[in-house]
Amino acid sequence: MTALLSSSPLSRQGVDYDADYVCTRVIDTLLREDVRDCASRGELLSGDALPAGLTENGEGGRYWLRVAHLGSAALWIPVVPTRYMQSWRLARLPLLREDSTSCTPLYDIDAVLSAFADGLPPEAARLFTDYAIECRTALEHRRTAKAERARWFDEADALPGHSLPRWEQRLLHHDRLAAFLDHPYYPSARAKLGFEPGDLARYAPEFQPSFELNWLAVPRTLYHPSGTALPPGWPNFEDVGLPAGLAAEHALVPVHPFVWRHHLDGFLAEAGLAGQVIRAPRSHLTVTPTLSVRSLVLHDTPDWHVKLPLTIRTLGAKNIRTIKPSTITDGHRIQTLLGAIVARETSLHGQVLLTNEENGAHVAQRPFLGFILRRYPEQALANATAVPIAGLLADAPHGGSVVEELAARYYDGDLDAWLDAYMELTLRLHLTLWLRYGIALESNQQNSVLVYGDDGLRLLLKDNDAARIDTGLLARRWPQLADKLAGLVDARIAVSDELPLAQMFTTITLQLNIAALIEGIAERRGIDPAASYARVRYQVEAVLEQLAAEGENVAFARQTLLEDDTLYLKYLLRAASLEEKSQTGVADVNKFYGKRAPNFLKAVR
């Protein structure tokens, strides 16, 4: 090999650690999701195969992945082996791009994505260019969030979350901490596409602002409610500056102020509704954003949250945060089904809490006009500390992490005891739902909340409109329960075999809600995670053995979770940003899977 370096790639001035962090996460994801077959077709070489003139100077790993099929040049990626979610991850920056005359170091994300787009048709290449913009937004929002976290943590009166006087304050505190923590697997999740940095301060949970909602009066002929309950303090027409007489033929619909200011007029005009609805002149109802950004706590009645359409995109350019009308009724149907199951399962009764999501409305089937009301079980939470799984690894204001605070308060500082209690409940719930009832929940880190109190640990579930349910199995075995799904709207919920259930359980419960925690805790403690994975395997085996003893068929689950060499993983980046649906062939960008993750449970038998 005769290529010469255009500059020394192992030394540079003015390192931007935030930019390197984002770039490294993206490259690891490109490898994990095998974008453009980089991992499966790349050639693994030792360091002595490097282009002439390059010396590692003791930096990086011993291996390089040479990817020569992307276009006009070969890409050299320094890698080290791993067993967590992928076989190889980036050893360090830079990558090297080798053509016939030179070998150029690639440090920044624009250059890396340009190399990955090399040789693609213009429309496909454009997706990589657009994603580079998303990465720059993620970097900008990361810096903004870091500055706000530093400011907040420096406040003299900042208290540990469990010391706050009311349950909703404790929940919001941990939501805010979680908002500063990046998604484990989507590398640019920090980007709230559509928000400028100033919008973060006005509307994002990292800043925990308060603001009032705007209101539209819509004709009742276009207004389609689900349920009849509204929170105390819900405005009447006079509260928002409209004549009381409008109530006879109109209903009030809340609108997020960001949508109100930037996009509502265009949406109304496009839908032909501009002349049919009335903008209220006054805002009303003070709210604060939760971790999900578009779900908002009502200040005066904090057991009620309102979920509103919000014209930003998170976890990818295709994930616009509107509300499909079907989610209002489907979420309530599934919540009702779960409530009936928890009530009949002795080992789960009293251990699993559910939010009530019966009430809401949509306007003329438009995803940008509508709302869902979510009510939390206030009595069960009154004396408890509620923490979303997304916040467990977050830094705490007084040092350490949230999970260390919880272990210190409730488990005498024993993190292994904390992990065992958490896994026992989580795995018992989700394996029972899968193997006995044919249900897998998209109970991700945001939708699963741990509830700690003097009576132990409970698990609260919310936002269950994206489940996968083997409706045939449910109907055959539990016809009365199946009746609770009558009228289900979203056809993607119903499946006909175990594979979609296994995929969702693996990628949500096992990888996102358990493995990500194990890796994060091990990193903080400076230990090998193998012992913790052995504890996971033991817990999975124990639940499977119990279910088998009760007559359930666990063979497929045992094979998939414990015996196969690889586990399913989600191709989040490919489906949400880098590929069109015509390429992926999936109906849901959040349900695109590949079987490429090393099975960390098989390795610790």
Dist CA 204 CA 262 (whole Å): 16
CA angle 141, 316, 522 (to 5 degrees): 70
Would you kindly state where each structural domain of the chain is located, as residue ranges? Answer: 17-122, 192-326, 384-598
CATH code reported for the domain at 384-598 = 1.10.510.40
Dist CA 460 CA 381 (whole Å): 10
Residue-wise pLDDT for 447-492, tens only, equals: 999 999 988 899 999 999 999 999 999 999 999 999 999 999 999 9
Residue 502 and residue 557 in contact, taking contact as beta carbons nearer than 8 Å: yes
DSSP state of 395: B
Could you give the maximum distance between any two Cα atoms of the chain, in Å?
83
Give the number of residues written for the chain: 605
Token pair for residue 87? Answer: 């076989």
Predicted pLDDT of residue 47: 78
Token pair for residue 585? Answer: 């062939």
Dist CA 70 CA 72 (whole Å): 7
Question: Quick one: how far is CA 299 from the chain centroid?
Answer: 25
Which CATH fold would you assign to the domain 17-122? TATA-Binding Protein (3.30.310)
Residue 328 and residue 142 in contact, taking contact as beta carbons nearer than 8 Å: no
> For residue 165, which amino acid is it?
P
Residue 174 and residue 386 in contact, taking contact as beta carbons nearer than 8 Å: yes
Per the omega criterion (within 30 degrees of 0), is the bond before 397 cis? no
Residue 369 and residue 159 in contact, taking contact as beta carbons nearer than 8 Å: no
Nearest-CA neighbor of 223 among 251, 264, 243? Answer: 251
Number of neighbours of residue 344 by Cβ within 10 angstroms: 11
Predicted pLDDT of residue 193: 93
User: Who's near 499: CB < 8 A, 6+ residues apart?
Assistant: none
> For residue 273, which amino acid is it?
L
Residue-wise pLDDT for 15-32, tens only, equals: 899 999 999 999 999 999
Dist CA 298 CA 290 (whole Å): 11
Walk along the chain (605 residues) in steps of 10 and give the mean pLDDT of each run: 43 83 98 98 87 52 90 94 96 93 92 97 96 97 96 78 88 97 96 95 97 98 94 97 97 98 94 94 98 96 97 84 88 96 95 96 92 96 96 93 94 95 98 98 96 92 94 97 94 95 98 98 94 96 98 98 97 94 83 95 78
Token pair for residue 62? Answer: 């011993």
Query: What is the secondary structure of 118-131 as a DSSP string?
Result: TT--HHHHHHHHHH
Predicted pLDDT of residue 7: 42
Burial of 488 (0-12, 13-18, 19+ CB in 10 A): middle
Burial of 557 (0-12, 13-18, 19+ CB in 10 A): buried
CA distances from 323 to 138, 203, 235 (A): 24, 18, 22
User: Who's near 89: CB < 8 A, 6+ residues apart?
Assistant: 28, 31, 32, 79, 80, 82
Number of neighbours of residue 284 by Cβ within 10 angstroms: 18
Q: How many helices (H) and strands (E) does the chain have?
A: 20, 27
Predicted pLDDT of residue 583: 87
Token pair for residue 38? Answer: 């980089």
Predicted pLDDT of residue 143: 97
Strand partners, 385: 452
Residue 219 and residue 276 in contact, taking contact as beta carbons nearer than 8 Å: yes
- Indicate the angle between helix axes 530-549 and 516-525, nearest 10 degrees: 150
Q: Does the predicted TM-score (pTM) go above 0.75?
A: yes
Dist CA 93 CA 117 (whole Å): 19
